Amino acid sequence: MASTFSFDFVSEIDLQEADNAVNQAKKEIDHRYDLRGSNCDMEFERNQQRITIKADGEHFVNAARDILIQKMIKRGISVQALDEDKPEMLGGVHVRQYIKLRSGIEKEQAKKITSLIKDSKIKVTTQIMDEKVRVTGKSKDDLQHVITLVKGAELDFPVQTENFR
């Protein structure tokens, strides 16, 4: 039996689920009567982790974005993982908007998690490792309390756990 237990806090997006959400949103856009004739198109660029929405008017882009967000929520992707740029005019009536998918915990976010855990006085140690925060403790109960604490905290980014050992 191990004398210490650990797990990692991560912030990741399942790219296949994001791709599925984009495809579902495209189907709904094609069949929505209020979006007919809008030349609305949505594209998922997996290697850049970015979604591009193009349409003939900003209100059509906003409607397509709302449909995409609904599909993302149904697929279990947090809205906090979406980093939306402002819609930009391409010329004439054409409008484009980029939505980036954020993954990984940045340094400031990791510091926020570690300070939250240290302020709780739970007997665990935290360590920032690249885009993860490793939490180590002697009791599994303490680690589960930390998970509950961080998941219940109001953070501006999605958090998942992995490698619970």
Band (pLDDT 50/70/90 cuts) for residue 72 is very high
Does 98 score more than 90 pLDDT?
A: yes
Number of CB atoms found within 10 A of residue 107's CB: 10
Q: Once rounded to an integer, what is the mean pLDDT over residues 9-21?
A: 88
In degrees rounded to 5, what are phi and psi of residue 93? -105, 0
Q: What is the pLDDT of residues 111-137, one digit of tens each?
A: 888 888 888 888 888 888 888 888 888
pLDDT of residue 2: 54
pLDDT of residue 11: 84
Does 68 score more than 60 pLDDT?
A: yes
What does R_g of the chain's alpha carbons equal in angstroms? Answer: 20
- Answer yes or no: are the C-beta atoms of 127 and 133 closer than 8 Å: yes
**Topology classification of domain 5-12+104-162:** Alpha-Beta Plaits (3.30.70)
**Topology classification of domain 15-101:** Alpha-Beta Plaits (3.30.70)
In degrees rounded to 5, what are phi and psi of residue 5? -120, 155
Q: Where are the domains of the chain?
A: 5-12+104-162, 15-101
Q: Once rounded to an integer, what is the mean pLDDT over residues 18-35?
A: 90
- Answer yes or no: are the C-beta atoms of 86 and 58 closer than 8 Å: no
Does 24 score more than 70 pLDDT?
A: yes
Order the strands of the 124-129 sheet from edge to edge: 124-129, 132-137, 5-10, 160-162
For strands 132-137 and 41-45, give the pairing: unpaired
Q: Which two tokens stand for residue 41?
A: 């198109």
Q: Once rounded to an integer, what is the mean pLDDT over residues 129-158?
A: 84
| DSSP string across 120-149 | TT-SEEEEEETTEEEEEES-HHHHHHHHHH
Q: Once rounded to an integer, what is the mean pLDDT over residues 93-117?
A: 87
pLDDT of residue 20: 93
Alpha-carbon gap, residue 84 to 33, rounded angstroms:
26
Whole-model pTM above 0.75?
yes
Share of the chain above pLDDT 90, in %: 25
pLDDT of residue 35: 82
Instruction: Write out the H or E segment, with its range, that includes residue 119.
Output: helix 107-119
Q: How many residues does the chain have?
A: 165
Cβ neighbors of 111 (< 8 A, separation 6 or more) are 128
